[in-house]
A and B are shown apart, each in its own frame.
Chain A
Amino acid sequence: MIGLWSVPLLFALPLALGILSLLVTPAWRPRLIFVGLPLLAVASFDVLARLVVEGPRIYELGGWQAPLGINLVVDGLAVGMILMTTLVASLCALYARVYLRDYPPSSSFFWPLLWLLWAGMNGIWLAEDIFNLYVGLEVMGLAAVGMVALRATPQALAAAMRYLLAALLGSLAYLLGVALLYATYGTLSMAGLHEAAAPNVTTHVALALIILGLLLKTALFPLHAWLPPAHGGALTPVSALLSALVIKASFYILMRIWLVLGPEVTPIFTAQMLGVLGAGAVFYGGWMAWRQHHLKQLVAYSTVAQIGYLFLFFPLVTGTGPEAARLAWDGTLMMLVAHALAKAALFLSAGNLILAVGSTQISHLVGISRFRPMSLFSFGLAGVSLMGLPPSGGFTGKWLLLHSAILSGQWWWLIVLFLGGLLSAAYIFKVFRMSFREGPQIDRSVTPPLTLDVTALILASAAILIGLTAHLPLFWLRLGSAFGAG
């Protein structure tokens, strides 16, 4: 397995760069991205190429076999998440290099934390056993808390503390679930659990603990209270990273474990409950987003709402036919990727708009469409995907979920998809209404550096493009999953 150097590189390299960036002077820290980003991009595409050519496989780290060694899973889902992370995090890093020049004291610590966050996320995407998922979750979570605290204002510290407490509680519940599963089945590997899992009381208690812990970390309504202050109050590139990628990691773990335990163990009632909570998140998050006065708080509540759609996966995949389950898988992953791209774009362009008018208030955006059309255009493109208008990724995802809901006869989820879209439109157009209102005729706004506008625009365009070319990524994502490659 000499050729597979790129798999361990995906988390060894960010880890090494994280330590290296602590050793060099603050002026040199941002420059490390010119080494790290190309290497990580090459490694990610190498992994994709190997997946397409050679098919999914298990990679044994250092040639050691489990349980002594660590197994890594290289299937379509893992590789898809890695590519998504590489794209979004690279653009956020380029954005941050320019953006953080105005924040000298905090910016020097952004870089080590960014690399650690990246290492934790790639570790989660690749982990094949439920304990390494815990370790990845902690590495990522602690780095994320540090990033929220970077601004060092009292509000930022309170948000970081609240986030940390929620994250700690969530991971302990998850760990206790892992302990129960290990005690019952004597294995941590997902393949082993898939073989052995049987419906009994211990497994159900473990599943409940794992679900509760991960819901808290994913900030699913009604456990979302920590998210808006943490995501809305952080520095703009941090908000984008947290909302686009970090919350996806805990959802990803839940999705994997749910499918590993299989339909005999996972109760339909729990699946329906998760769907109901998701629906609650869509409505509550959308409503709260519409009521916000601060631009980034609006975007943060929009994340609370969008998380809800992902949880429709569980009722649509449990106890339904194979075709409906496959559509649910496709639709959920399309929603997940589209949201990652669109939300990163939305936060970055919101940051540009705030930079331009010098205020976080939505009401101060009056007349900005005349002077900063490009920042507003990225915001709008990302908004199109969040609302689920064609031809964006958000539309394709909702369309697939809608088909799955019809096919499995669960019409009530259609209401969620439809009303959720209307609510998203309401809060996106709230920003647009302000920006198109006639304001001052003289341009008093600041021009954001070109890099900031370009990175936001690339992400927003990607959110649209993924909808137009959905077929191929969805085919790759199915490789090695229970839904086949058909």
Chain B
Amino acid sequence: MSSALVFAWSGVLLFGLGLFGFIAHRHLLRRLLAFNIMGSGSFLVLIGLAQDGRGVDHVPHAMVITGIVVAVASTALALVVFRRWYRASGRTDLPEDT
């Protein structure tokens, strides 16, 4: 197994773990952490797979940097909404009924 594939499979594993956490947990902070793990997994796939046999490729680097910016911004927004929700309702999870 080439190093590219090791990276890629680790990325898939992280993504899967994150997805499990995202679905299994109810606490919003945990779900947010799980989202960040999923994000790291997909970045690892992006970087890892693209270096396979083609030498150094800068395009995935640029994409991952953009992706990290997006993930940080999303996490910040989610934290703000979560804090407002916690202050308004005293709950750390979302009500089940829609």
Contacts and interface: CB of A to CB of B under 8 A. Distances in A.
A182 interface: yes
Contacts of B81: 145, 149, 157, 160-161, 164
A176 interface: yes
A191 interface: no
Given A142-B73, A146-B77, A176-B15, A162 B94 contact: yes
Contacts of A225: 98
A183 interface: yes
Nearest to B51: A183
27 contacts: A67-B59, A135-B66, A135-B70, A138-B73, A146-B77, A157-B85, A157-B89, A158-B94, A164-B78, A164-B81, A165-B78, A168-B35, A168-B78, A169-B35, A172-B15, A172-B39, A175-B46, A176-B15, A176-B45, A179-B60, A182-B46, A182-B59, A182-B63, A183-B46, A183-B50, A225-B98, A228-B98
A300 to B, nearest CB: 11
A157 B66 CA distance: 27
Interface string B48-92: 011010100101100100110010011001100110110011000
Given A142-B73, A175-B67, A180-B49, A186 B94 contact: no
A146 B95 CA distance: 20
A152 B89 contact: no
Given A158-B95, A228-B98, A183 B52 contact: yes
Size band of the interface chain A makes with B: 35 or more
Contacts of A154: 85, 88-89
A131 interface: yes
A188 interface: yes
Contact of A180 (B45, B54, B74): B45
Nearest to A153: B88
A134 B35 CA distance: 16
A182 B60 CA distance: 9
Given A179-B46, A182-B50, A158 B89 contact: yes
Contacts of A14: none
A133 to B, nearest CB: 12
B17 interface: no
Contacts of A188: 59
B46, B50, B82: residue with the most chain A Cβ atoms closer than 10 Å: B46
Contacts of A142: 73-74, 77
Nearest to A152: B84
A229 interface: yes
Nearest to A177: B42
A138 B70 contact: yes
Contacts of B39: 172
Interface of A: 67, 131, 134-135, 138, 142, 145-146, 149, 152-154, 157-158, 160-162, 164-165, 168-169, 171-172, 175-176, 178-180, 182-183, 186, 188, 225-226, 228-229
Given A157-B89, A175-B67, A182-B59, 12 more contacts: A146-B77, A149-B84, A157-B81, A157-B88, A164-B74, A164-B77, A165-B31, A169-B38, A180-B49, A182-B50, A183-B49, A183-B52
Q: Interface centre among A134, A152, A182, A225, by most B CB within 10 Å? A: A182
B30 to A, nearest CB: 12
A157 B84 contact: yes
A161 B85 contact: yes
Contacts of B98: 162, 225-226, 228-229
B94 A172 contact: no
Contacts of B31: 165
A284 to B, nearest CB: 14
In the complex, which of the residues A168, A176, A186 has the most CB atoms of chain B within 10 Å of its own CB atom? A168
Contacts of A175: 42, 46, 67
A158 B59 contact: no
A131 B62 CA distance: 11
A39 to B, nearest CB: 27
Question: Which residue of B15, B31, B70, B85 has the most chain A CB atoms within 10 A of its CB atom?
Answer: B70
Given A146-B77, A157-B85, A186 B42 contact: no
A179 B63 CA distance: 9
A123 to B, nearest CB: 13
A188 B77 CA distance: 28
A168 B46 CA distance: 18
* Residue from B42, B52, B66, B95 with most neighbouring chain A CB atoms (10 Å): B42
